[in-house]
């Protein structure tokens, strides 16, 4: 006799799926893809048989399904973004970002923005952490699971390593402004698409314009390649200072690409290279008079 699965079996199955990267629920109702399918139509005579369209879905879920549907709290039940074309999304982002004059207004503009489809699957907007008056800006890639839960960049294991790296050159979150290229988590931490990056870029450019940082630390290949318009991988770009040219600022901003702490967690031997980058960044802070400011802020 086959025993029905126990609660422990379900928990093990869930754990296995999470480890395999399936850590987002994207439908309101569970779908058993292993359930027996209806028998396939006989293949003989198919060419002559009239093609039948599948029945249209019911206008509202049947009663039983309605009662099974998890109750989604109103704050998470968002309509799907309505802007479909990439250029429409970018134009909307540019319009919204242009009207924002402060970091808080940029945050509100992002809340109103419907052009990035990642918003529909994310739990929270994740825009920045740190000091909005800092002259040092750190730009990563995209929020992960913990960032999505807390609505703050770099709070998971990679963020904790980033904090330790910053501490070695006298920095902490009171002295830097930390943000990402993307403001909503890509499901399962997949790489963002070029269209998703392009739709969020006006908000990053606006943050840079408002903050006018003196130095940029570009964490990971995606932010380095996007902001510096380069195609090489991060192992080529890291440790080499480059000028970031903002479309509306007269002066370029010195930017240093470095290895992403998530990569360093997987490849600890590369921490040596990251350390070299940090020393170079500390020298630049010194040159810009930012090292004293950081020390003074530390008391
Ligand atoms: N990785 C990033 O690039 N950004 C985060 O906020 C977290 C992890």
Q: Show me where the domains of the chain are located.
A: 86-298
Q: How confident is the model at residue 78, as a pLDDT?
A: 53
Q: From the CB of 226, is ligand 1 less than 6 Å away? A: no
Task: Kindly tell me the burial class for residue 207, based on how many C-beta atoms sit within 10 Å of its own C-beta (0-12, 13-18, 19 or more).
Answer: buried
Q: How confident is the model at residue 295, as a pLDDT?
A: 65
Please give the backbone phi and psi of residue 159, each rounded to the nearest 5 degrees, phi first.
-65, -40
* Distance from the alpha carbon of residue 140 to the mean position of ligand 1, in angstroms: 5
* Distance from the alpha carbon of residue 142 to the mean position of ligand 1, in angstroms: 5
Indicate the class that CATH gives domain 86-298: alpha beta
> Which atom number of ligand 1 is nearest to the Cα of residue 223?
3
Q: From the CB of 153, is ligand 1 less than 6 Å away? A: yes
Q: From the CB of 207, is ligand 1 less than 6 Å away? A: no
Q: How confident is the model at residue 30, as a pLDDT?
A: 62
> Which atom number of ligand 1 is nearest to the Cα of residue 158?
8
Give every CB contact of residue 169 below 8 A, 6+ residues apart in sequence.
278, 279, 281, 282, 285
d(CA 125, CA 204) in angstroms, rounded, equals 14
Compute, in degrees rounded to 10, the torsion defined by CA atoms 44, 45, 46, 47: 130
* Distance from the alpha carbon of residue 292 to the mean position of ligand 1, in angstroms: 28
Q: From the CB of 221, is ligand 1 less than 6 Å away? A: no
For residue range 3-29, list pLDDT tens digits in order: 778 787 777 777 766 655 566 665 556
For residue range 121-155, list pLDDT tens digits in order: 999 999 999 999 999 999 999 999 999 999 999 99
For residue range 47-65, list pLDDT tens digits in order: 333 333 344 343 333 333 3
> Which atom number of ligand 1 is nearest to the Cα of residue 147?
6
d(CA 131, CA 177) in angstroms, rounded, equals 5
Q: From the CB of 187, is ligand 1 less than 6 Å away? A: no
Q: How confident is the model at residue 228, as a pLDDT?
A: 98
Weakly modelled stretches of the chain, pLDDT under 50: 40-77
Q: Which of 124, 129, 139, 141 to mutate to test the pocket of ligand 1 (most atoms within 8 A of CB)?
A: 141
């Amino acid at each position: 006799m086959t025993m029905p699965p126990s609660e422990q079996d379900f928990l093990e199955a869930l754990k296995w799926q999470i480890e395999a990267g399936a850590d987002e629920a994207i439908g309101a109702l569970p779908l058993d893809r292993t359930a027996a399918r209806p028998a396939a139509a006989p293949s003989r005579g198919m060419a002559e048989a009239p093609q039948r369209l599948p029945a249209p879905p019911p206008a509202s879920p049947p009663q039983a399904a309605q009662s099974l549907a998890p109750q989604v709290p109103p704050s998470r039940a968002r309509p799907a973004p309505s802007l479909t074309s990439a250029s429409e999304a970018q134009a909307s982002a540019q319009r919204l970002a242009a009207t924002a004059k402060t970091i808080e207004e940029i945050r509100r503009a992002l809340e109103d923005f419907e052009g990035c489809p990642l918003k529909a699957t994310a739990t929270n907007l994740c825009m920045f952490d740190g000091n909005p008056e800092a002259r040092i800006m750190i730009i990563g890639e995209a929020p992960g699971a913990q960032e999505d839960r807390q609505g703050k960049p770099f709070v998971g294991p990679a963020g904790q390593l980033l904090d330790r790296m910053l501490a070695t050159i006298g920095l902490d979150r009171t002295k830097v402004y930390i943000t990402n290229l993307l403001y909503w988590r890509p499901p399962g931490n997949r790489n963002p698409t070029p269209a998703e990056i392009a739709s969020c870029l006006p908000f990053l450019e606006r943050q840079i314009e408002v903050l006018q940082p003196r130095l940029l630390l570009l964490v990971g290949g995606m932010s380095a390649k996007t902001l510096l318009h380069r195609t090489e991988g991060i192992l080529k770009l890291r440790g080499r200072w480059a000028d970031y040219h903002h479309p509306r600022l007269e002066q370029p901003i010195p930017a240093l690409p470095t290895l992403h702490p998530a990569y360093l967690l997987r490849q600890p031997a590369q921490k040596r290279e990251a350390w070299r980058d940090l020393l170079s960044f500390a020298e630049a802070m010194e040159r810009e008079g930012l090292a004293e400011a950081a020390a003074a802020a530390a008391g």
